[in-house]
Amino acid sequence: MESREPIDCWQELGLPFPPERLRGRLVPCPQCGAPLALMRRRRFYALCATVEETSQGAVLICRQCGARQPVRELLLSGRRARTG
């Protein structure tokens, strides 16, 4: 499987500063490594992902490879990382 460089997605965002200055935990795509979202204080901010609402909650869909990641899992893993 061919993977694209995640840096392409950073350029599409058009941030006026380097991505290293973003505060929070970056969540990479499990398939291609693109930065899907920024998790901060039990909130998420979609970066290189589209948010889709389903009956079971929100899902982040990677714009580069189409991988789907449930937001609920991201919030739970963030909580485990802080407490564990």
pLDDT in tens, 35-76: 888 887 777 788 888 899 999 889 999 988 999 988 888 777
Buried b (16+ CB within 10 A) or exposed e, 41-62: eeebebbbbeeeeeeeebbbbb
Q: Which residues, at least 6 apart from 26, have a Cβ–Cβ distance to it below 8 Å?
A: 19, 35, 37, 38, 39, 47
57-to-19, 53, 83 alpha-carbon distances in Å: 28, 6, 24
Task: Read off the pLDDT band of 1 (50, 70, 90).
Answer: very low
Match 């982040």 to its residue by tokens. Answer: 60
Q: How much is the average pLDDT of 13-29?
A: 72
Q: How much is the average pLDDT of 25-30?
A: 83
